[in-house]
């Protein structure tokens, strides 16, 4: 490149380099500025690339065109982008599609990604969304050999998949210890962004235990990850795999400095089950949960905001049989303190179905230890939403509730039966303080000021005892969900 084509800042940089070079020619006494320590400490990834590069593979997927599913007209990189974020693939008008083969029955590219060799006999790990919907999976090694792969199993909940190629003597990766990974540590990724095979990017660990999914505490990094990198390995400076590159935060579809990787210990646990049975078995207790706010924790006497609040209990579930109730705060599982909401589904999910466990719940000022038997989550689990919407039978409304801005009535026997409730009172109208708290007509109040409510008589007594100068915690149910709110007195 000629000097006249260089930009001013490049010429300045050249001048600085020349001045440093000339300084090297001076006597030692004249050289008073040593090289910065940070420069001497920069990592060298060359040996890692030589060591791990042959273990990273490119994955292409093909899909048969059907009469009802014609070509989308999108490039494989964009298809992978939509699949990675769980977005519906847009339909490109036929006249705007590129001219390429795609008659019914033909196989056309449906996505691309990366993967890495798990075992020398041909097991390869990647992301579930990379192989989702594929009729054919093609794995390309760094020596340009191509293999048609068989999908051993894929788990959408963790986005982990295992495929098998017919080969032996392959260079398998080394598995690292995620617990030793530290925030600020250098890491490297190898993959095929936009189809560019064996591209290497590097950065640092930005955070650990980043909760963006039910079953995964992601590793957050600033390593450049783009469409096509999905399924590739995240490596530490010892050349060990510590994660699978899976997601990015992006407003444009490109890299913006935030990437997420599946911790390798979680991925290996899933892959072991996929290789053994082709599916993943998870435990379940049958509760819906939400976070515990600081205000609610203080108002119910829990102290600090911790644990998981039970907002719903499935009928006939282990939780119902164990005596768990909506409004309980689950504080421990098998003796382990529950600091974060996401810990509970992770711990329960990793517990073998049929196991006997214990959940500790905080209920109306007391802690209870409830024995519970874990069951298996059905593979095609779907939420049943069947809330009965019958008109309530007329009953005498409570007058004591009016000081809270409420008008409530007793539940009918039919309502209690349809909602699987022992009792409660239903809100006829909510105004002023109650309305500001978010309560509305049709909600069912199950507790007031840490006192269980079964009928109007108990409701009136609880309201009469409540301190009118302080916020009153109200446990209520709306549809299938149970939640706390605070009714604050007007100033």
Identify whether the C-beta of residue 291 lies closer than 8 Å to the C-beta of residue 468: no
Q: Which of 129, 155, 206, 271 is catalytic?
A: 129
Token pair of 258, please? 């935030």
Could you tell me the CATH number of the domain that includes residue 361? 2.30.42.10
75 and 60 within one domain: yes
d(C-alpha 358, C-alpha 163), whole Å? 37
Query: Are 329 and 298 members of one domain?
Result: yes
436 and 470: one domain? yes
Percentage of the chain with pLDDT > 70?
74
Closest to 196 measured CA to CA, from 235, 227, 161? 227
Q: Does residue 129 carry a catalytic annotation?
A: yes
What pLDDT, on the 0 to 100 scale, is given for residue 126? 94
Query: 2 an active-site residue?
Result: no
230 has binding-site annotation? yes
Which tokens in the block code for residue 116? 């890495």
Asked, for residue 21, whether it belongs to a domain, the answer is: no
Residues 134 and 66 in one domain: yes
pLDDT on residue 242 = 95
- Which of 277, 298, 316 marks a domain boundary? 277
- CATH at 233: 2.40.10.10
**Domain ranges, residue 128:** 51-90+103-164
Does residue 237 fall inside a structural domain?
A: yes
Residue 256 lies in a domain: yes
64 & 147 share domain = yes
Q: Is 129 annotated as a binding residue?
A: yes
What is the rounded CA–CA span in Å between residue 227 and residue 81?
6
405 within domain boundaries: yes
**Which of 237, 262, 277 corresponds to the end of one domain?**
277
* Residues with Cβ within 8 Å of residue 246, at least 6 apart in sequence: 84, 127, 159, 218, 230, 231, 260, 261, 262
Does residue 10 fall inside a structural domain? no
SS3 of the chain: the string is: CCHHHCCHHHHHHHHHHHHHHHHHCCCHHHCCCCCCHHHHCCCCCHHHHHHHHHHEEEEEEEEECCCCCCCCCCCHHHHHHHHHCCCCCCCCCHHHCCCCCCCCCCEEEEEEEEEEECCCCCEEEECHHHHCCCCEEEEECCCCCEEEEEEEEEECCCCEEEEECCCCCCCCCEECCHHHCCCCCEEEEEECHHHCCCEEEEEEEEEEEEECCCCCEEEEECCCCCCCCCCCEEECCCCEEEEEEEEECCCCCCCCCCEEEEEHHHHHHHHHHHHHHCCCCCEECCEEEECCCHHHHHHCCCCCCCCEEEEEECCCCHHHHHCCCCCCEEEEECCEECCCCCHHHHHHHCCCCCCEEEEEEEECCEEEEEEEECEECCCCCCCCCCCCCCCCCCCCCCCHHHHHCEEEEECCHHHHHHCCCCCCEEEEEECHHHHHHCCCCCCEEEEECCEECCCHHHHHHHHHHCCCCCCEEEEEEECCEEEEEEECCCC
Query: What is the rounded CA–CA span in Å between residue 97 and residue 92?
Result: 7
Based on the structure, what is the number of domains in the chain?
4
Q: Is 277 exposed, middle or buried (0-12, 13-18, 19+ CB in 10 A)?
A: exposed
Options 110, 114, 132, 159, the catalytic residue: 159
> Token pair 């802690």 is at which residue?
367
∠ CA 104-108-113, rounded to 5°: 150
**159 is an annotated ligand-binding site residue:** yes
Q: What is the pLDDT of residue 19?
A: 43
Residues 59 and 151 in one domain: yes
228 labelled ligand-binding? yes
| Same domain as 155, residue 119 | yes
Two tokens at 158?
Answer: 């963790």
Q: Is residue 25 part of a domain?
A: no
Let me know whether 140 and 184 are in one domain. no
Do both 159 and 193 map to the same domain? Answer: no
Domain termination site, one of 277, 304, 329: 277
Kindly state whether residues 273 and 292 are assigned to the same domain. Answer: no
pTM over 0.75: no
Residues near 354 by beta carbon (within 8 Å), at least 6 away in sequence: 373, 374, 375
Within this chain, do residues 188 and 207 fall inside the same structural domain, yes or no?
yes
List the chain residues with pLDDT less than 50.
1-31, 33-39, 67-71, 85-101, 380-395
C-alpha 44/C-alpha 202 separation (Å) is 10
Structure confidence at residue 395 (pLDDT) = 47
4 within a domain of the structure (yes/no)? no
pLDDT digits (tens, 9 = 90+) for 404-424: 778 888 888 878 877 778 888
Whether residue 392 is contained in a domain is answered as: no
Token digits for 484?
Answer: 């706390």
Q: What is the C-alpha separation between 222 and 260, in angstroms, rounded?
A: 9
Look at residues 192, 191, 142, 137 and name the one whose alpha carbon lies nearest to residue 161: 137
User: Exactly one of 55, 72, 192, 230 is catalytic; which is it?
Assistant: 230
* Same domain membership, residue 466 and residue 406: yes
Provide the pLDDT for residue 91. Answer: 47
Strand partners, 367: 362
């Amino acid at each position: 490149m000629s000097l006249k084509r260089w930009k001013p800042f490049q010429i300045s940089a050249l001048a600085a380099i020349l001045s440093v070079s000339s300084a090297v020619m001076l006597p030692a006494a004249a050289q008073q500025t040593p090289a910065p320590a940070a420069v001497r400490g920069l990592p060298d990834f060359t040996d890692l690339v030589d060591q791990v590069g042959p273990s990273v593979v490119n994955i292409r997927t093909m899909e048969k065109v059907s009469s009802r599913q014609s070509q989308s007209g999108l490039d494989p990189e964009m298809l992978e982008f939509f699949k990675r974020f769980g977005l519906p693939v847009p339909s490109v008008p036929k006249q705007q599609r590129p001219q390429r083969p795609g008659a019914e029955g033909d196989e056309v590219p449906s996505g691309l990604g990366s993967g890495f060799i798990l075992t020398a006999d041909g097991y390869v790990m990647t992301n579930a969304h990379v192989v989702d919907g594929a009729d054919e999976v093609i794995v390309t090694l760094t020596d340009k050999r191509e293999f048609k792969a068989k999908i051993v199993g894929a788990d959408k909940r963790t986005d982990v998949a295992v495929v098998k190629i017919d080969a032996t003597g392959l260079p398998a990766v080394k598995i690292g210890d995620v617990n030793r990974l530290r925030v600020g540590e250098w890491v490297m990724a190898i993959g095929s962004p936009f189809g560019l095979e064996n591209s290497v990017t590097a950065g640092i660990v930005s955070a650990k235990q980043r909760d963006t999914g039910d079953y995964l505490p992601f590793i957050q990094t600033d390593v450049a990850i783009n469409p096509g990198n999905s399924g590739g390995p995240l490596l530490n400076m010892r050349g060990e795999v510590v994660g699978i590159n899976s997601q990015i935060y992006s407003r444009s579809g490109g890299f913006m400095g935030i990437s997420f990787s599946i911790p390798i210990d979680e991925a290996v646990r899933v892959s072991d089950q996929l290789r053994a049975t082709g599916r993943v078995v998870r435990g379940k207790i049958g509760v819906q949960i939400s976070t515990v706010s600081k205000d609610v924790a203080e108002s119910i006497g829990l102290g600090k905001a911790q644990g998981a609040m039970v907002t719903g209990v499935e009928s006939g579930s282990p939780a119902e049989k164990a005596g768990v109730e909506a409004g309980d705060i689950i504080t421990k599982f098998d003796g382990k303190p529950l600091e974060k909401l996401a810990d509970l589904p992770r711990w329960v999910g990793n517990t073998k179905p049929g196991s006997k466990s214990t959940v500790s719940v905080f209920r109306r000022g007391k802690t209870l230890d409830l024995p519970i038997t874990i069951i298996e989550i059905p593979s095609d689990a779907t939420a049943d939403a069947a809330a009965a919407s019958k008109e309530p039978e007329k009953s005498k409304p409570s007058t004591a509730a009016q000081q809270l801005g409420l008008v409530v009535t007793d539940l009918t026997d039919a309502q209690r039966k349809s909602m699987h409730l022992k009792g409660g009172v239903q809100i006829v109208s909510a105004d002023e303080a109650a309305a500001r708290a978010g309560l509305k007509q049709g909600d069912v109040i199950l507790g007031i000021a840490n006192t269980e409510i079964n009928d109007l008589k108990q409701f009136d007594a609880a309201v009469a005892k409540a301190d009118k100068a302080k916020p009153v915690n109200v446990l209520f149910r709306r549809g299938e969900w149970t939640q706390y709110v605070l009714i604050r007195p007007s100033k």
